Amino acid sequence: MKSFNHFMTIPLAHRGLHNQQLDENSLGAFKAAIEHGYGIELDVHPLKDGGLVVVHDTNLKRVTGVDVNVETLSEEDLKKYPLLLSKEKIPTLKEVFDLVAGKFPILVELKVEGKFNPELPSRVLKLLENYPKTDNIAIQSFNPYAMKYLKEKDAPYPLGQLVSNKLDGQSKFVCWLFRTLNVLKISRAEFIAFDIKYLPSRPVKRYRRKGYPILTWTIDDEEKLLRARKYADNIIFETVNIDK
């Protein structure tokens, strides 16, 4: 495995192909992405009972209207907090895997809160043991130690470093590590997912010349789309027509 070809050629729908009727990171949004022939980017948090939940924020207020930390919940608890638009249950990663069944690319972002704990990447690897062995899984995180851990475990999936030049709450040194891509010396990631707001970037250009695949996010208007096509290899997108 370890082929990244599909992630270089098939655009990735950011948190699924969501809209005013379909919530982000919902099974409905993922089905819509598949129906349009797109890959999927999604976010994963650990649940307290050992499961994995697909949601972006740690706090569910924005997507459910309820002020609760998702990592304090069990899979059974998720039924109590339907998504605001569709009233769907927040999906587990297993439910998304069952839906996609290896047929389309899934880019899994590990949402590491606070100090790195190997529990989250370990659970993802365990779940993937029963997933179809295709080239349609890649894993990424802002936390370089999550990628380093997976690298040391010989994870058979492409591993990516998420990067932005601005990281709220981080020290000047950490921001420098990311801006210069020196963070790759920690993560040893095999591809870079770079914030479109800061492209073009000299470090990104340098790594692209070395052969590193470059994804960019979040492409949500025509100007960003044009810039992404010039400075990156593929896009993570939402709310923009990419088929023109």
What confidence tens digit (pLDDT) does each residue in 182-216 have? 999 999 999 999 999 999 999 999 999 999 999 99
Pairing of strands 234-237, 12-14: parallel
Average pLDDT on 67-96 reads 98
pLDDT in tens, 18-75: 999 999 999 999 999 999 999 999 999 999 999 999 999 999 999 999 999 999 999 9
- Residue 137 phi/psi, 5-degree rounding, is -125, 135
Average pLDDT on 95-112 reads 98
pLDDT given for residue 1 in this prediction: 54
pLDDT given for residue 2 in this prediction: 81
Peptide bond into 218 cis (omega under 30): yes
pLDDT given for residue 218 in this prediction: 98
Q: How far apart are CA 172 and CA 133, in angstroms?
A: 41
pLDDT given for residue 34 in this prediction: 97
Average pLDDT on 133-149 reads 97
Q: Residue type for 164, please?
A: S
Residue 243 predicted with pLDDT over 90: no
